[in-house]
A and B are shown apart, each in its own frame.
Chain A
């Protein structure tokens, strides 16, 4: 199993550009999430999904869109990048239910100029 994979590893954008951060998992996990990590802020939830076709907003959803057309994939879209979106983005997945830990991808470092 590859686990949770993310691409790209690093990206530089100009303000106003759009891009999609890719996330895939091969563990057949129903739950998938996107977090951003900023210095001193811990991990903050952007969007999450509890299954194909179902998504919902987390703590900091503004400026981001998601979709979940398959169990495996959960892309995160930035429609018009802003410098405030400079961060490290982590995708995660888990099975539902108690006792299930969360598995993280390696992260995407995004710099918006």
Chain B
């Protein structure tokens, strides 16, 4: 059975801390892994990863994929209160019509 597991389920940090969010997967016909940020409404796209070892970076956020060990991490450095959100990991599979989502990690950044 395909699965995408995110850890931790929730995390509380202070502003300025660095956090690492984890996503492991066991799916057939893996094609890519995507990270989304969800604040109060719809998830918004962050990164798409298709190749191992190539870091994607956007400001204080970065992500990398390990296709051998079947996981990805999302790093956020110098966290700010605006980073508080649910971070969703999803897998795209060849031949599938939809993304397969993990349960998400709820990040809370306190001043």
Contacts and interface: CB of A to CB of B under 8 A. Distances in A.
A44 B3 CA distance: 12
Tier of interface size on chain B: 20 to 34
A50 B98 CA distance: 10
A105 B42 CA distance: 6
B48 A99 contact: yes
A41 interface: yes
A105 B99 CA distance: 15
A106 interface: yes
Interface residues of A, number: 25
User: Could you tell me the dominant secondary structure of chain A's interface residues?
Assistant: strand
B86 to A, nearest CB: 9
Given A99-B48, A104-B43, A42 B102 contact: yes
Given A31-B98, A56-B97, A101-B45, 9 more contacts: A33-B98, A40-B9, A40-B103, A42-B104, A43-B43, A96-B97, A99-B48, A101-B48, A102-B98
